[in-house]
Chain A
Amino acid sequence: MTGAPPGPVLSHAGLNLDHATREEAEQVESDVFGFWVFLMSDAVVFALLFALFGTSLEATAGGPDLAGVVKLGPAFIETMLLLTSSFTFGMSSLALKRGSQPRLLQRFRPAVLWLLLTWMLGVAFLGMEVNDFATMAQHGATADRSFFLSAFTVLVGTHGLHVLTGVIWLPVLLLQLAGGGLDRPLKVNMIRLSLFWHFLDIVWIAIFSVVYLQGALR
């Protein structure tokens, strides 16, 4: 890109810092990098849960196995919900960047609407997942039944708890936006939440591939 200012340019989640000095931009860059480090350590946690899951597949102790507990229909809808929510979060990040309306509400309306849509998709995803676990429990497939079901519950459940964290975090940031406008700490938090949300969608790709599609193939 020609004519770009020298120094760090925030490309992460698409938020720019209007009129930021170079020092401020560098501070934000390092804040966001810190969150990347957290996300990657979280990725290691998930990876080891996947390894645990992989070694547990035969350890069903006579109970339900992977093919027996996996339902492809709900898993597909959950995948679509989460993927779409990742897209709508991206749209809200882009909408946050712009807007020259002087009044706060008008300025952030598109971004807020995209965020609310993202939140609803996240809640719908969680609702479906809770329903999945309830259905499994009705058929006696609870975490205490076998090593396999423990590993399954911990892997899918840890992801679900992360989504729940995002679903709680998002309205908190919206309240801050409504209260004080988009100041720099809030911008950084918005970037963090967007990274978190996109990251959870990436973990879900691994879950639907390794857990649900593998289950359907067995």
Chain B
Amino acid sequence: MTSPAIERGEVRSLILGYGLALLFTLLAFGMVVLHVLTGRQAFYAVLGLGLVQMLVHFHFFLHIDLRRNSWPDLQLLVFSAMIIALMVGGTLVVLFNLHVRMM
């Protein structure tokens, strides 16, 4: 069912994903260890790199893409991401606000 050309392509895509994931991991750790940025900026940069690396993992390891047959998975993912953003964002806003008011 699979031709050698397709097989090679799949292995290459997996290796590419691994390489990209390594790159973003090294960037994030390297930036912190070498003090390229400091404070809040550094933290936001780390979060951004982490988010991009997650997308790399979803694409190359979990095979989520914009093709039609992964649409149900993609919809589920986007819905879950929305729920998570609402709950985590809401928790942080409410509790930090409370923290400030009680100081």
For the complex, give the distance between the alpha carbons of A208 and B39 in Å: 17
A213-B14 contact in complex given A12-B63, A14-B63, A40-B77, C-beta closer than 8 Å: no
Contact, CB under 8 Å: A47 / B28: no
- Distance in angstroms from B4 CB to nearest chain A CB is 9
Selected contact of A213 from candidates B11, B17, B28, B79, CB within 8 Å: B28
List, in ascending order, chain A residues with CB within 8 A of B43's CB. 213-214, 217
Q: Which A-chain residue is minimally distant from B39 (CB atoms)?
A: A217
Q: Mark B10-51, 1 if CB is under 8 A from A, else 0.
A: 110011011001100100110011000011001100110110
Q: Chain A interface secondary structure, helix, strand, loop or mixed?
A: helix
User: Interface residue count for A (Cβ, 8 Å)?
Assistant: 49
Is A198 a contact of B57 with CB atoms below 8 Å? yes
Asked if B88 is at the interface (CB within 8 A of a chain A CB), the reply is yes
Q: Determine whether the beta carbon of A90 is less than 8 Å from that of B61.
A: yes
A51 contacts which chain B residues (CB < 8 A)? 87-88, 91-92
Interface residues of B (CB under 8 A from A): 1-2, 7, 10-11, 14-15, 17-18, 21-22, 25, 28-29, 32-33, 38-39, 42-43, 46-47, 49-50, 53-54, 57-58, 60-63, 67, 69-70, 72-73, 76-77, 79-80, 83-84, 87-88, 91-92, 95-96, 99
